[in-house]
Amino acid sequence: MSKLNSNQLSTSVQSDSRVITLPLQLQNANSDINALTKPSLEIPDIKVDTETQQLQIIQNSQLLSILLSNLLKYGVLLASSVVLLGGILYLLQHGTEPVHYQFFHGEPSEFRTPTGVVTAVLSGSRRGIIQLGLLLLVATPILRVVVSLLIFIKQRNWIYVTITTLVLTALIYSLVGAYY
């Protein structure tokens, strides 16, 4: 309590607390020693910590999603950078030429196959650089499926291996089927 006297502040505190001591007694103080000295032929139960396994599965799936998202992100950035570079180079060389829309001209035969595109890029064709960027853009999700398939094989997750194999087969058929 606080009391205010003429010019002094006086404080008095009353304490209602008590200290209680509890004796600690060890039960079976030598229990570990007794267990070691007794010969035991029993095989201990192996307990699998399901929480730890679930945590590892969650961590693995998070790492997989981060890996695949980075693969897509950097694949698209690389592909669009290559297309942008090829577009700039193409416009620097052909930007002032008049365009003739009277007749439709399809893609030249050199740009119809991946090997033709690579050959065109190595020969210095600006359109070849643009086509290479587009090929990289198409190859990015296919690479994602291939990486997923390899990870699922490593994890021995056979259901996802089967599904991913079907998806990869459909993607490859859609690309290769156009040539045959």
Mean pLDDT per segment of 10 residues, for the chain of length 180 residues?
A: 51 62 60 56 51 72 86 95 94 85 80 86 91 93 93 90 95 79
Which stretch of DSSP H or E encloses residue 65? helix 50-94
Q: Rounded CA gap, 82 and 136, in Å?
A: 9
> At 35, phi and psi to the nearest 5?
-70, -30
Q: Choose among 71, 93, 44: nearest CA to 147.
A: 71
Joined together, the tokens standing for residue 136 give 């990289």
Residue 150 belongs to domain spanning: 51-93+114-176
Tell me, yes or no, whether 36 lies in a domain: no
Q: Are 140 and 82 in contact (CB under 8 A)?
A: no
Amino acid at 33: I
Q: What is the pLDDT of residue 165?
A: 96
pTM over 0.75? The answer is no
**In sequence order, which residues have a C-beta less than 8 Å from that of residue 125 and are 6 or more positions away?**
110
Tell me, yes or no, whether 17 lies in a domain: no
Joined together, the tokens standing for residue 50 give 């399901």
Joined together, the tokens standing for residue 144 give 């994602």
The tally of CA atoms less than 13 A away on the side-chain side of residue 77 is 6
Q: What is the pLDDT of residue 71?
A: 92
Tell me, yes or no, whether 151 lies in a domain: yes
Tell me, yes or no, whether 24 lies in a domain: no
Q: Rounded CA gap, 158 and 152, in Å?
A: 7
Tell me, yes or no, whether 73 lies in a domain: yes
Tell me, yes or no, whether 80 lies in a domain: yes
Tell me, yes or no, whether 143 lies in a domain: yes
Q: What's the domain count of the chain? A: 1
